[in-house]
Chain A
Amino acid sequence: DTGVSQDPRHKITKRGQNVTFRCDPISEHNRLYWYRQTLGQGPEFLTYFQNEAQLEKSRLLSDRFSAERPKGSFSTLEIQRTEQGDSAMYLCASSLVAKGTQYFGPGTRLLVL
């Protein structure tokens, strides 16, 4: 399968713990995006990378969130000191060109207890 993959698919953690999610984009795509989706809402943009450069961050991305794409391939999203409000589906997408169609992975569902 050559689509976008995300790991883990589900994560349950206790408030205050750190969590890290991984995204592997479609191999030839140089743009990678992170979104968050909560119940009853559409996906909300968090940040995106062109190759290894993080080019934009939403105001939704608090100081507790950090994303990396060290070699321009896979990306990680870390949430430090998780809060119950961080419970959501975290989606990763990739695209071949700027402003192009974004293809999404299956998401990581996070539950913070």
Chain B
Amino acid sequence: DQQVKQNSPSLSVQEGRISILNCDYTNSMFDYFLWYKKYPAEGPTFLISISSIKDKNEDGRFTVFLNKSAKHLSLHIVPSQPGDSAVYFCAASFSGGGADGLTFGKGTHLIIQP
């Protein structure tokens, strides 16, 4: 059962425009969410995170929005640049006791068109 879902396997966006990547989760116990970016043959690189006590977190060109009632988060990249072409993973964890590993979605391949 996929607890973190990224329903768009790929997304193509023109350079300079906004890229919006979406993520849904089913486990209401998740309260900390992260986005990672991955280039081929490299490990995931941390981009931005958000705690469930917030609904928005911004870092430069990257903004993450969290809608807890809908169990949905999104990553906005503005403006999109060619170097943003990569696979983006949404990940979730919960701050309660027990499991410390991250649960990842399957990823969205973002392609920035010149």
- A residues adjacent to B (C-beta < 8 A): 4, 6, 31, 33, 35, 40-46, 48, 55-56, 58, 91, 93, 98-99, 101-107, 109
Contacts and interface: CB of A to CB of B under 8 A. Distances in A.
Interface of B: 4, 32, 34, 36, 41-46, 49, 89, 91, 93-95, 98-107
Nearest to A46: B101
A43 B34 contact: no
Contacts, number: 64
A33 B98 CA distance: 14
14 contacts: A4-B43, A6-B43, A33-B100, A35-B102, A41-B106, A42-B91, A43-B89, A48-B101, A56-B99, A93-B43, A101-B49, A102-B34, A106-B42, A107-B43
Nearest to A102: B102
A46 B105 CA distance: 16
A45 B43 contact: no
A44 B106 CA distance: 10
Nearest to A6: B43
B103 A40 contact: no
A56 B4 CA distance: 20
Nearest to A50: B100
Given A56-B100, A58-B101, A99-B32, A105 B89 contact: no
